[in-house]
Structure 1
Amino acid sequence: MSAGIELVVLDLAGTTVRDDGAVEAAFAEALETAGVPADSPERAEVDAYVRDTMGQSKIEVFRALFAEDDVAEQANLAFEKAFAAHAIEAAEPLPGAAEAIDKLQAQGRKVCLSTGFSAETRDALLARLGWTEVADLVMCPSDAGRGRPFPDLVLTAVLRLGISDVRAVAVAGDTGFDMLTGRRAGASVVAGVLTGAHNEAVLRAHGATHVLGSVAELPALLDPR
């Protein structure tokens, strides 16, 4: 089916954009703000949950952790501010990522960039990279209704870009939730990459059809010629 792929949905941090631990660092600051300091008894369990849910909509992670919605909102705001302060200015594409996007489009495929960040953080990140026009579509949870692991981001991209069949979609990301999203959306190619949060075992456990060293390998996977 890879030859018939019309749309490729690519994650941002850890997949096409270098992370270098910026997301986890921003989560650490957010947890401090929400009253879960590094030396608190529950911090190890909370940190484990954050790692396990990498790729999910950030506000949904905080809503799962904190029963009070105002605390979740406060933590989410702290996360966005911390990520903007420490990561966006240093953001750069992962090696081969920009070239991969060019190759995928040259193959005649649409490219959608997706993320669990807020629209404001997404837009600041893309502006820093000079990627505001690089993709056919850019999506975050507020654009689609629900973030990962729900299929909304992928399915909304299918509708907006006029894709003929969900099976004509490839999804690539660095987290288990990216894989689960692709599976739930019906994508025929769900490719995990080893440049981000999760290892091959986690990616395959969540449904990866392929595991690649990086997104730079994706164009050749979809078009072996």
Structure 2
Amino acid sequence: MTTLSLAVLDLAGTTVSDDGIVEDAFLHALSREGVHQGGPRHDAMMRYVRDTMGESKVSVFRHLFDGDEDTAQRANTAFEEAYAQMVASGRCSALPGARQAIESLRAHGCAVVLNTGFSPRTRDDLLASLGWSDLADAVLSPADAGRGRPYPDMVLTALLRTGAPSVDSVGVVGDTPYDMRAGRAAGAGLVAGVLTGGHSAQSLRAAGADQVLDSVAALPALIDATARAA
């Protein structure tokens, strides 16, 4: 493995604690479309939501509503509105050590790109609420890259945006199996899971994680150790 020159980091669950508001925003959107809690259809939909955390939200809605684009777009708009309101109410915060980890990586010559399954609007509202609008070298959503996770598009777009020399010099870090699958599909030199988002070490390793960290705060030390080994 070459020395890592780019870290591609997920937002919610990896660098940001969102107090469960992703699920709450999905609940709100489903309710707006007449799918209420307590029924088998609702339970099946929420299982799919949990299983696909990290994927583009509008893609999730397309699946939930059997490809009905109008319904998917309407539900996605309801999701974004609910999420923005919850962010504005202060329910999101940086995970301990996340900002310091990003600043440390950049100070030592490793570019950082934040990526997410949120739309650009939702992503930017979240970053603004944290004072993170200029924290990373770039920020990406599926709309910026073509496809969301588990496809490799956002990781490869991050490489092109930052001029990283090779996929082997890229590290991908996230809290969901979809993050791990995207990193593996991109050929990243390091794919690391974190345990701050509710998925187990076993599920992250099964999806392709090389390493599982307690939190993103441990990433600079891991990358430093990787550089020394290289």
The answer to whether TM tops 0.5 is yes
Indicate the TM-score class for this superposition, using the shorter chain for normalisation: over 0.9
TM-score, scaled to structure 1: 0.96
Aligned CA-pair RMSD: 1.2
**Distance in 2 of aligned mates of 1:118 and 1:15:** 17
In structure 2, what residue type is equivalent to 1:74?
R
Q: What is the 5 A alignment of 1:133-148?
A: 133-148=134-149
How many residue pairs match? The answer is: 224
TM-score, scaled to structure 2: 0.94
Structure 1: 5+ residue stretches without partners: none
- What's the counterpart of residue 79 of structure 2? 79
- SS for the counterpart of 1:208 is coil
- What's the counterpart of residue 173 of structure 2? 172
- What's the counterpart of residue 37 of structure 1? 36
Q: Is the 8 A contact 1:101 1:111 kept in 2?
A: yes
**Distance in 2 of aligned mates of 1:118 and 1:149:** 16
- SS for the counterpart of 1:42 is helix
Q: What is the 5 A alignment of 1:1-225?
A: 1=1, 4-67=3-66, 68-90=68-90, 91-224=92-225
- String of CA shifts for 1:135-193, please: whole Å, max 9, x gaps: 00110111101111110000011111111110100000111100000000110111100
- SS for the counterpart of 2:127 is helix
* Distance apart, 1:88 and its partner CA: 4.3
* Distance apart, 1:42 and its partner CA: 1.2
Among all aligned residue pairs of Structure 1 and Structure 2, give the percentage whose two residues are the same amino acid: 57
- String of CA shifts for 1:46-69, please: whole Å, max 9, x gaps: 111110000000000010111211
* Distance apart, 1:128 and its partner CA: 1.0
**Distance in 1 of aligned mates of 2:25 and 2:190:** 31
**Distance in 1 of aligned mates of 2:40 and 2:224:** 50
- SS for the counterpart of 1:223 is helix
TM superposition outliers: structure 1 runs of 4+ over 2 Å: none
